[in-house]
């Protein structure tokens, strides 16, 4: 069995390889699109370095496993084998690649725009299905673009590979029948150029992102004759954000988790704090009802018997802290800064609960030239 056959068998065994894409996955050698030095996650989710020259069997096995492979940390500032803070480029999990291509619903003759070339593997799959002349892919990172273009050319898929700002699309070859993004746009900030460059009746498949989710949903949009894109969330996914839309990570180094000092406000709530973050559906609903913030969880320790659920908004330097343990409520809340984050989050949660706890796919997202809205339907 060849390596591509192994990958196809793996994907088919779990029912995530559409028949229409089987030939492409068999034909395109994923290992040809990977650098010699990569990182893959261990069972705990921690990235581990792998070098093709010193561990070729493990490197090749990773290439044809249904796993995501990190190819860059911190925009290249972190050099292999070190592990950086932020993953900034990767080869997506093949199962997710297959899912996105399935939702794209390409047909013979379609012209494709891809945002985020990455390794070039996704573009090669599209080129195999449609021919290279019909695929345009845009990559913002110069080093990654060079490697991808080389891999695409040497494997026989010379698609149009553009070094540029993906938020602008690529007008020179527009319009496109399909647009696919392998990076996430923030909710409310999907680049309208993607819509503008899509033909009426065309489809855009892209992940969206919210800070409160830490990731977001995969969304399939259809563009109408008026240049309005309407879509619904399909499933929760995890993609890196567009570099142009990155937001600072919450800096909690100066936070007093004892809840004292400054204008810290103490209160209690009867809402179990963990309920505002324990499912994808509630995190999405809260994201649609309030301005961005991030959250995190600290489990109990030997010195601290309670859980801590924190929320932070960097631009306003606001934060909130909820404490809870097995004894039940009422639960302690501490809030600091111009935003009262817990109050906002609790109000959004209670609204979602009053609506019957709708699932994420109940929302409709509308993108026009002058506004972006998300509504419960």
For the question of residue 267 being annotated catalytic, the response is no
Query: How far apart (Å, rounded) are the C-alpha atoms in residues 338 and 277?
Result: 22
Query: How far apart (Å, rounded) are the C-alpha atoms in residues 104 and 102?
Result: 5
Pull the structure tokens for residue 18.
């559409």
Residue 22 · residue 53 · CB < 8 Å: no
Strand 135-139 relative to strand 176-181: parallel, antiparallel, unpaired?
A: unpaired
Pull the structure tokens for residue 79.
């050099």
Strand 47-51 relative to strand 37-41: parallel, antiparallel, unpaired?
A: antiparallel
Distance of CA 35 to the CA centre of its chain: 22
Residue 331 · residue 273 · CB < 8 Å: yes
Sign of CA dihedral 11, 12, 17, 22: positive
Q: Which of 92, 215, 287, 318 is catalytic?
A: 92
The beta-strand segments (E) located in 238-357 are 265-269, 294-298, 307-313, 318-324, 331-336
Burial of 125 (C-beta count, 10 Å sphere; 0-12/13-18/19+): buried
Instruction: Tell me which H or E stretch contains 56.
Output: helix 56-63
Strand 198-209 relative to strand 176-181: parallel, antiparallel, unpaired?
A: parallel
The beta-strand segments (E) located in 226-273 are 229-237, 265-269
Nearest Cα neighbor of 187 from 164, 155, 213 is 213
Strand 185-186 relative to strand 198-209: parallel, antiparallel, unpaired?
A: parallel
93: Cβ–Cβ under 8 A, 6 or more apart, which residues? 66, 67, 68
Annotated catalytic residues are 92
């Amino acid at each position: 069995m060849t390596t591509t056959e192994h990958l196809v068998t793996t994907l088919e065994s779990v029912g995530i390889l559409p028949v229409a894409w089987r030939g492409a996955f068999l034909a395109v050698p994923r290992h040809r699109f990977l650098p010699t030095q990569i990182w893959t996650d261990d069972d705990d989710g921690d990235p581990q370095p792998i070098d093709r020259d010193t561990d070729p069997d493990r490197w090749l096995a990773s290439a044809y496993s249904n796993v995501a492979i990190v190819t860059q940390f911190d925009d290249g500032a972190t050099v292999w084998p070190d592990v950086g803070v932020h993953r900034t480029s990767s080869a997506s999990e093949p199962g997710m690649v297959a899912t996105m291509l399935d939702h794209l619903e390409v047909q013979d003759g379609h012209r494709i725009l891809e945002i985020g070339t990455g390794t070039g593997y996704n573009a090669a799959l599209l080129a195999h299905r449609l021919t290279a002349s019909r695929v345009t892919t845009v990559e913002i990172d110069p080093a990654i673009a060079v490697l991808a273009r080389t891999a695409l050319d040497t494997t026989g898929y010379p698609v149009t590979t553009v070094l540029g700002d993906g938020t602008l699309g690529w007008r020179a070859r527009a319009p496109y029948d399909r647009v696919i993004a392998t990076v996430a746009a923030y909710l409310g900030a999907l680049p309208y150029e993607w819509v503008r460059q899509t033909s009426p009746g065309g489809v855009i498949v892209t992940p969206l992102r919210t800070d409160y989710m830490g990731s977001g949903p995969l969304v399939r949009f259809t563009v109408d004759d008026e240049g309005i894109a309407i879509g619904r969330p399909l499933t929760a996914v995890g993609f890196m954000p567009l570099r142009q839309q990155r937001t600072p990570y919450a800096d909690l180094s100066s936070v007093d988790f004892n809840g004292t000092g400054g204008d810290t406000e103490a209160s209690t709530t009867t809402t179990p704090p963990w309920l505002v973050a324990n499912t994808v559906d509630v995190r999405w609903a809260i994201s649609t009802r309030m301005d961005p913030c991030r959250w995190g969880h600290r489990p109990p320790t030997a010195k601290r018997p309670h859980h801590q659920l924190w929320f932070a908004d960097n631009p306003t330097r606001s934060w909130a802290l909820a404490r809870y343990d097995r004894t039940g409520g009422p639960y302690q809340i501490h809030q600091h800064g111009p935003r009262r984050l817990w109050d906002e989050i609790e109000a959004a949660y209670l609204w979602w609960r009053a609506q019957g706890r709708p699932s994420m796919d109940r929302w409709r997202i509308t993108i026009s030239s002058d506004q972006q809205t998300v509504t419960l339907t």
